[in-house]
Copies of this chain bind each other. A is one copy, B any other.
Amino acid sequence: MRILYHLPLSPYARKVRLVLAEKRLPFELRVEKTWERRPDYLAMNPAGTVPTLTEDNGLVIPHSNTICEYLDEAYPDICLVGRTLGERVEIRSVAAWFDERFAQEVSRNLLYEKVMKQASRRGAPDAARLREGYAALRTHLAYIGWLAETRKWLAGANLSLADFAAAAHLSALDFIGDIDWSIAPAAKEWYARMKSRPSFRALLADRVSGIAPPPHYADLDF
């Protein structure tokens, strides 16, 4: 069985879960407590991060981007990285924007401070970082809204990896109650479309011990 090593609130693992579900590829989830730095896991992924995917044929694939590029090449029926060169550039650029800028300015400051630090017993959240994260989140929500209003999906006319990268980060933040959707109607409209896709169901059913998501988290009509 295909196995995805993950943490429930890792945006990178969530992106891969969405892509796997969108491509209707069955897989089993295994939680990897990255902070334990398990030698068997480090042998598969020397960076020690989640996600890592293993295929039945023995292929071990660390890193969410490497996994997503692999899945689009190995299972091309449902294409998520675009068809023309121009589409592929735009999709990869927008996806990288979320996986690097959004991650660094928002997810790093909120998710890491509130969840990862706690889970790995590295102390209490840093208030300055939380403030920075919330401020950046406002700007990013406005940018997502602007993208969603000027094109059908975030990277163009088709649903793509860029939408899943963005939705993965937002869904993790929404789980911890950090998104005030009332300030970003255009981003909310796009996120509602994402949330209602069958591929999103498993994410909305996630349970994490010690954290209760807000009531709107799993509500398609939030």
Q: Identify which of A91-99, A115-123, A168-176, A183-191 touches chain B.
A: A91-99
Number of copies of this kind of chain in the complex: 2
Q: Which one of B47, B63, B74 lies within 8 Å of A85 (CB-CB)?
A: B74
Given contacts A46-B97, A97-B47, contact A88 B69 (CB under 8 A): yes
Q: Which residues of B contact A70 (CB under 8 A)?
A: 85, 88-89, 92
Q: Does A65 contact B (CB under 8 A)?
A: yes
In the complex, what distance in Å separates the CA atom of A221 from the CA atom of B59?
A: 39
Q: Which residues of B contact A97 (CB under 8 A)?
A: 46-47
Q: Chain A interface secondary structure, helix, strand, loop or mixed?
A: helix
Closest to A64 in B: B96
Contact B46 A96 (CB under 8 A): no
30 A–B contacts, CB within 8 A, in A order: A46-B97, A46-B101, A47-B97, A47-B100, A47-B101, A59-B85, A59-B86, A59-B89, A61-B89, A61-B93, A62-B93, A63-B92, A63-B93, A63-B96, A65-B65, A65-B92, A65-B96, A66-B89, A66-B92, A66-B93, A66-B96, A69-B69, A69-B92, A70-B85, A70-B88, A70-B89, A70-B92, A73-B85, A73-B88, A74-B85
